[in-house]
Amino acid sequence: MYLDLTEEQKLIQETARDFAMTELEPVAGDLDKGGDDAIFYENLKKLAEVGFMGLNIKEEYGGAEAGVIAFSVAMTEIARACAATAVTVSVNNMVNEVIQALGTEEQKQQYITKICSGEYQAGAFALTEPGAGSDPASMTTTAVQDGDDWIINGSKIFITSGSCAGVFVVWAVTDPKAPKGKGISLFLVEQGTSGLVVGKREDKLGQHASATNEIIFQNCRIPGSALMGKLNDGFRVAVSELAGGRIGIGSLGLGLGLAAMDSATRYSLERKQFGRKISDFQAIQWKIADAYTELEAARLLLMNAAFKKEQGQKFAKEASMAKVFATEAANRACYEAMQILGGYGYTKDYPIERYSRDARITTIYEGTSEIQRLIISREILQSFS
């Protein structure tokens, strides 16, 4: 792999950085405190207009066709300013990628173009259920055929952008007699469909501006054309196509870790104790050295996974390695950044406490660290057998 970015990738990185610094960072703190959602949605619209909702999507569907590496570096820059915006951008990109990979031409034209253009504020994945999180094969939401239609019943939880998504990618059991994980199908359900109920918005530790909702299906009738991909093949999609989302969340974590350490490093050059800048003390220097070393290692793991995906190679193990390492390194970086600031780091006068809260979920959503380790170990053990 050639480690330097291409000119196009550098341009996307610079564009993302400039947008993050001028549009996102000034409002991120207020949005975290429950500020005006209209500002959040306006920024999503602006990001769509510059092509960031379809970075790995073909131009014919409104995408930028810039590739997976460009997606990763853009996610990192956006997350350095506002993790809530970054997770929405990541999910939008992955919804578009799944529809591009599996959808009919009509589905691609109908939904990808609307997410890429910003006509839809967001797309959403409706996979997780109260009893099926890390084990999605245990889902109980059903889709029963009724003439030419399907009727969906069940509930989903922790759905990012649930209240503002224009379309949901919904997993449901279509053959309850099939072996576990074999009778699940994938559907596209539009917001506003009769029987689709958006439930409560979760009161979360961090990433407050990004809505996370329960979604309830009560005899939700959808046309037969809403089926995406092959019947009863949806579980394979959940464990394969969505691996790309781990690159997005790993990149988000990297951005948060870098933001925290940049803030702490600048502080260490200004703060004085015992008559010296605290950056002069080895205890602080080693924290800075260790954190940035881990974050650089995370960046390289992410680039490797993104490169493999972009080249059409197998990348599941690499994506899991990048995700688990980057998100855990981000949490450690936030912890050390707070330690460098001391008591100030624990206050809302500095952004470190927000970065720390925003980073915590990254080791949980898009597959927990424990699940990533299961995937990694499984791939390694299979290579030895």
pLDDT (mean) for 235-243: 82
What angle in degrees, to the nearest 10, is found between the helix axes of 316-341 and 282-310? 160
Q: 243-384 maps to which CATH number? A: 1.20.140.10
Q: CA-CA distance, 80 to 78, in Å (whole number)?
A: 5
Task: Indicate which residues carry an active-site annotation.
Answer: 366
**Stretch(es) of the chain classified as CATH 2.40.110.10:** 125-237
Residues 255-305 have pLDDT tens digits of 999 999 999 999 999 999 999 999 999 999 999 999 999 999 999 999 999
User: What φ, ψ does residue 178 adopt, rounded to 5°?
Assistant: -70, 155
pLDDT in tens, 74-109: 999 999 999 999 999 999 999 999 999 999 999 999
Share of the chain above pLDDT 70, in %: 99
Delimit the CATH 1.20.140.10 region(s) of the chain: 243-384
Question: Which of 245, 220, 208 lies closest to 357, judged by CA?
Answer: 208
Tokens encoding 52: 């960031």
Q: Is residue 237 classed exposed, middle or buried when 0-12, 13-18 and 19+ CB atoms within 10 A define those classes? A: buried
Percent pLDDT > 90 in the chain is: 96
Q: Which CATH class is domain 125-237?
A: mainly beta
The rounded distance, in Å, linking the Cα atoms of 5 and 367 is 28
The CATH fold assigned to 7-120 is: Butyryl-Coa Dehydrogenase, subunit A; domain 1 (1.10.540)
State the pTM of this model. Answer: 0.97
| Nearest one of 290, 291, 293, 300 to 321, comparing CA atoms | 300
